[in-house]
Amino acid sequence: MVLVYATQKSKFFCKESDIILLCLTNKLGYGNWSAIKRAIRREPRCRFDHLFISRNEEELKKRVIYLVQSLEREEKDAEENRKKALARASEV
């Protein structure tokens, strides 16, 4: 799946922090917010991103929920486009 980066504007989260957040969520488990927060603090790529490091667990949770919903929407749209393309191809 190709991730189209069209998320809501945020001064706390950038593209790289969103990627890190999704990868850590995948690795440590959805809902394990305290472990994800600790992992962010230890992540070398986040060393100088104080705004991202300082987010609390609730803010991380909301961002992950938003990102997962965005990914699900993109996957649903891609599936609909594939079905339409197959239908058009079979009509020919």
Q: Look at residue 62 and tell me if it is in a domain.
A: yes
CATH of the domain at 56: 1.10.10.60
The answer to whether residue 83 sits within a structural domain is yes
- Using the Cα atoms of residue 40, residue 46, residue 52 and residue 53 in order, give the sign of their dihedral: positive
Residues 55-92 have pLDDT tens digits of: 999 999 999 999 999 899 999 999 998 988 888 888 76
pLDDT at residue 58, rounded to an integer: 97
Q: Considering the domain boundaries, does residue 4 fall inside one?
A: no
Residue 10 within any structural domain of the chain: no
**Residue 79 counted as domain residue:** yes
Total structural domains in the chain? Answer: 1
Within a domain: residue 7? no
Q: 1-26 pLDDT, tens per residue?
A: 445 555 566 778 888 999 999 999 99
Single pTM value for the model: 0.79
d(CA 83, CA 11): 37
Residue 83 structural domain: 15-91
pLDDT at 42 over 80: yes
Alpha-carbon distance 91 to 7, whole Å?
A: 36
Query: Tokens 């929920």 — which residue?
Result: 65
In this structure, is residue 8 part of a structural domain? no
Question: Average pLDDT in the 26-46 region?
Answer: 95
